C-alpha cells in the first residue's frame, strides 16, 4: 500500500447471493476493508469502499435446490439480507448496487473488448457431465477430491490448499444436486484465456507486490507460478448466469469467475454515483490514468481467483487498467474442524435470525 495522496478503491470480495453474510465474512474481508477505508478517509484520502453480489455463481443453484427455492428467489432474498447486515455493521458502503442490465452490459463490454482483440482461444476440454440430468458440471455443481492435496473439494479451486482443479482434474467427481447420478466426462468446446501468455508480466508484478502479502497467500502464488499456469474458462455450458455473446460458443454462459473485475468496476461506478461523484464511463475510475490505489480484501480460498485470475483479466487489456497494490487475505474461521461455508450450511450467521432449517 502507498502513502501517496491518491484516490483509492477498496474492494471486499463479492459475496455469493446464496445466503446472508456469516461471521467469517464479516470479521474477515468486510471488517478489514472497512477499517482500511476509514483509515484512508481519516488521512484525507478520497476513497470508495465497495462490493456487489455475485449472482451468477453455481453455488446459488446448488443452495437453492437444497432449500427448495428457485435460484432467482434465493438471490433476491439473499441480497436483501446481505445489504441489511452490511448496514447493521455500519460499513462505509452506501449499499449494494443492483445486478441489472447496466451490470450485465458492463460485464459483456469488458469481455467483448478482449474477444475482439483476439485474447480468447477456442479449446476442446473434458468436463464432468451428469448423465441422468444431462448437465455439464462445474464449480458448485460438482464435488470430489482435490488432485493437489487430496482434500474434499468443489470444482474450480480447492478451499483447503487453494490450487485450481479446472475441467476434468477433480478426482471422483459427484453431482452436488444428485450424488447418485452417474458422472462421466464429455468433450466440449469453450473459450479460454491462456494465463501462461502473461507469465512474464505476472512474474514482474508479484516480485514487486507480494512482499506485502501475507505468507500463506504468497506461498500459494509461488506454488502456482512454479508450474504451467492453467487456462481461465471464459465460457461454460450452463443455464444460470449471463448468456455468452460469442459465436464460437452458442448456448453457453459467461463463466461466473470472469465477472469479478467488470463487476467491481460497476460497483465502483455505482458507489461513486451514490456518493455524489458520478462518472461518465463505468470503468473510468479503474483506468490507469486515474491512478487509483486498488486494494482487495478476501479470504484464502479466493487467492487463486482474486490474486491471479482477476489480475490476468486486467492484464489482458494491456495497460488500460490499474492493478491492485495489495491483496489482503484472511484465513478461515473453523467450526467443528470445517471452514465457514454458506453453500455447505456450515457457519454462524451474522444476522440475529438464522434461516429456517431445511431437509
Q: Is residue 191 part of a domain?
A: no
- Strands, sheet with 152-154, edge to edge from the N-terminal-most edge strand: 152-154, 142-145, 171-175
Total count of domains within the chain: 1
Give 63's contacts (C-beta < 8 A, 6+ positions apart).
Answer: 18, 19, 74, 140, 342, 343, 345
Model pLDDT, residue 314:
98
Q: Cβ distance 331 to 29 under 8 Å?
A: no
* Pairwise CA distance, residues 289 & 339, whole Å: 40
Q: Mapping DSSP to helix (H, G, I), strand (E, B) and coil, where does residue 45 land?
A: coil
pLDDT at 246: 98
Going through 18-163 in order, the beta strands assigned E by DSSP cover: 47-50, 120-130, 135-136, 142-145, 152-154, 156-157
Contacts of 35 (CB under 8 A, 6+ apart): none
* 237 close to 136: Cβ distance less than 8 angstroms: yes
Mean pLDDT by 10 residues, the chain (359 residues): 76 94 82 96 96 97 96 96 92 95 98 98 98 97 97 95 96 97 98 98 97 94 97 97 98 98 98 95 97 96 96 98 95 59 51 43
Under DSSP, is residue 231 helix (H, G, I), strand (E, B) or coil?
strand
Global pTM reads 0.91
The answer to whether position 193 is within a domain reads: no
Helices 71-89 and 58-67: crossing angle in degrees, nearest 10, is 100
pLDDT at 155: 97
Quote the domain boundaries for residue 294: 8-118+198-231+254-339
Residue 105 lies in a domain: yes
Q: Is residue 38 part of a domain?
A: yes
What is the reported pLDDT for 23? Answer: 80
CATH number at residue 14: 3.40.50.620
Inside any domain, residue 41: yes
CA distances from 302 to 100, 293, 299, 343 (A): 25, 20, 6, 15
For strand 135-136 and strand 120-130, is the pairing parallel, antiparallel, or unpaired? antiparallel
333 three-state secondary structure:
coil
* C-alpha 87 chain-centroid distance: 22
Name the residue among 241, 298, 240 with its Cα closest to residue 51. Answer: 298
pLDDT for res 27: 80
Cα–Cα separations (whole angstroms), residue 222 to 100, 218, 225? 38, 6, 5
Amino acid at each position: 500500500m502507498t502513502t501517496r495522496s491518491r484516490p483509492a478503491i477498496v474492494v471486499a470480495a463479492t459475496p455469493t447471493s446464496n445466503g446472508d453474510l456469516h461471521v467469517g465474512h464479516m470479521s474477515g474481508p468486510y471488517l478489514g476493508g472497512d477499517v482500511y477505508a476509514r483509515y484512508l478517509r481519516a488521512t484525507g484520502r478520497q476513497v470508495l469502499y465497495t462490493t456487489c453480489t455475485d449472482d451468477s455463481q453455481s453455488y446459488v443453484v446448488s443452495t437453492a435446490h437444497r432449500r427448495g427455492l428457485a435460484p432467482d428467489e434465493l438471490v433476491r432474498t439473499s441480497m436483501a439480507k446481505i445489504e441489511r447486515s452490511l448496514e447493521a455493521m455500519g460499513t462505509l458502503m452506501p449499499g449494494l448496487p443492483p445486478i441489472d442490465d447496466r451490470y450485465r452490459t458492463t460485464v459483456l463490454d469488458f469481455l467483448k473488448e478482449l474477444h475482439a482483440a483476439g485474447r480468447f482461444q477456442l479449446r476442446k476440454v473434458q468436463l464432468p457431465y451428469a448423465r441422468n440430468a444431462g448437465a455439464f458440471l462445474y464449480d458448485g455443481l460438482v464435488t470430489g477430491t482435490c488432485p493437489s492435496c487430496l482434500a474434499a473439494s468443489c470444482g474450480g479451486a480447492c478451499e483447503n490448499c487453494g490450487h485450481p482443479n479446472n475441467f476434468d482434474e477433480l478426482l471422483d467427481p459427484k453431482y452436488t444436486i444428485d450424488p447418485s447420478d452417474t458422472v462421466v466426462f464429455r468433450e466440449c468446446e469453450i473459450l479460454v484465456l491462456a494465463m501462461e501468455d502473461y507469465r512474464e508480466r505476472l512474474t514482474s508484478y508479484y516480485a514487486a507486490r507480494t512482499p506485502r502479502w501475507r505468507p500463506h497467500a504468497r506461498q500459494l502464488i509461488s506454488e502456482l507460478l512454479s508450474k504451467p499456469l492453467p487456462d481461465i474458462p471464459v465460457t461454460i455450458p450452463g443455464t444460470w448466469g449471463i448468456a455468452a455473446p460469442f459465436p464460437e460458443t452458442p448456448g453457453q454462459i459467461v463463466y461466473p469467475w470472469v465477472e469479478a473485475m467488470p463487476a467491481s468496476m460497476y460497483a465502483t461506478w455505482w458507489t461513486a454515483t451514490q456518493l455524489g461523484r458520478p462518472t461518465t464511463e463505468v470503468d473510468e475510475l479503474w483506468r490507469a490514468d486515474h491512478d487509483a490505489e486498488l486494494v482487495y480484501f478476501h479470504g484464502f480460498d479466493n487467492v487463486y481467483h482474486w490474486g491471479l485470475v482477476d489480475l490476468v483479466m486486467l492484464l489482458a487489456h494491456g495497460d488500460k487498467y490499474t492493478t491492485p497494490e495489495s491483496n489482503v487475505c484472511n484465513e478461515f474461521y473453523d467450526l467443528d474442524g470445517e471452514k465457514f461455508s454458506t453453500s455447505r450450511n456450515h457457519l454462524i450467521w451474522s444476522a440475529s435470525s438464522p434461516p429456517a432449517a431445511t431437509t
